[in-house]
Amino acid sequence: MKLDHYRVRPHASFRLDDWDPNDTANIPDKDTAKDLLKVERKRIARLQERLYAESRQSLLVILQATDTGGKDGTIKDVFKGVNQQGCQVRSFKVPTEIELDHDFLWRYHEQTPRDGLITIFNRSHYEDVLVVRVKNLVEKKVWKQRYEQINNFEQLLTANRTRIIKFYLHISKDEQKERLQARLDNPDKHWKFSKDDLADRELWDQYQEAFHDAISKCSTKAAPWYVIPANHKWFRNVLVARIVAETLEDMNPQFPEAKENLADIVIPD
């Protein structure tokens, strides 16, 4: 499984239609994927411990998808077993009046990770070039300039020792229909269903175009976008976990040196 295959290169020719949401690379089945996921979880947990102890850099993981794309499931399955003391999840709903009184990036910036932490954004600042664009919440001249502002924002974060990886969980329209129907069929999932999901589904093509532009304009060397085939949840989980683990490996956090010579210390009875 070549991870670079799923990474969107800066300034490269890119169309979402060219990415198969059913792709499972060379992983043959769900059981194999479960075994691989356990390995990647252990790597993430081990590296996250070093990251937290070192407290000199941080990791920001951004998840975006259409409705039912699997953001919640990805967070639950990939980061299972990670020490919660060093990992936090931030979700972003409709902005409050106070948030609307600031620039659009303000509410996101204050939630970025401090040194030593992994922070996961469940939705993110990209909503301001996605839903805002599709639903005409601001003028076109406003959201068009936000791509550059987002790139500058992410460059600021990386310059201050925050590594950024961004995942678009790519499902097909048919798969979305099946997942929405599954929510209707299961009373325990009714709380996750909203008629607004159906209204957004009517805007599928507009959202796909908005995702295309956000990904192509904002995938940079320092803050890359990965398009994750997500029709098969088991493959989605392994791929995201491996990319997170490889990113942490590349960051190479280290346990700090002991503050004093411990060799001669004897613990009293």
Residue 94 included in any domain: yes
Residue 240 included in any domain: yes
**φ, ψ dihedrals at 159, nearest 5°:** -65, -20
| pLDDT tens track for 154-168 | 999 999 999 999 999
Residue 215 included in any domain: yes
**The two structure tokens encoding residue 23:** 């792709």
Rounded to whole angstroms, how far apart are CA atoms 142 and 221? 25
Residue 61 included in any domain: no
Helix spans in 131-172 (H): 131-134, 140-144, 146-159
pTM, to two decimals: 0.95
Question: Do 178 and 24 contact (CB within 8 A), yes or no?
Answer: no
Tally of CB atoms within 10 A around 57: 17
Question: Do 56 and 161 contact (CB within 8 A), yes or no?
Answer: yes
- Total domains in the chain come to 1
* Extended beta strands in the chain, E state: 58-65, 87-91, 118-122, 162-170, 225-229
Question: Chain-centre distance of CA 148, in angstroms?
Answer: 20
Question: What's the CATH number where 119 sits?
Answer: 3.40.50.300
Residue 224 included in any domain: yes
Helix, strand, coil in percent for the chain, rounding step 5:
50, 10, 35
Residue 164: predicted pLDDT = 98
**The two structure tokens encoding residue 249:** 């490996």
Residue 41 included in any domain: no
Range of the domain at 222: 3-13+70-251
Residue 137 included in any domain: yes
**φ, ψ dihedrals at 58, nearest 5°:** -145, 170
**φ, ψ dihedrals at 250, nearest 5°:** -65, -35
Residue 234: predicted pLDDT = 97
CA atoms within 13 A on the CB side of 235: 22
Token match 């192509």: residue? 216
Please list the ranges in the chain whose pLDDT falls under 70: none
Residue 260: predicted pLDDT = 77
Residue type, 10: P
Residue 225 included in any domain: yes
> Which are the contacts of 111, defined by CB distance < 8 A and separation ≥ 6?
90, 119, 121
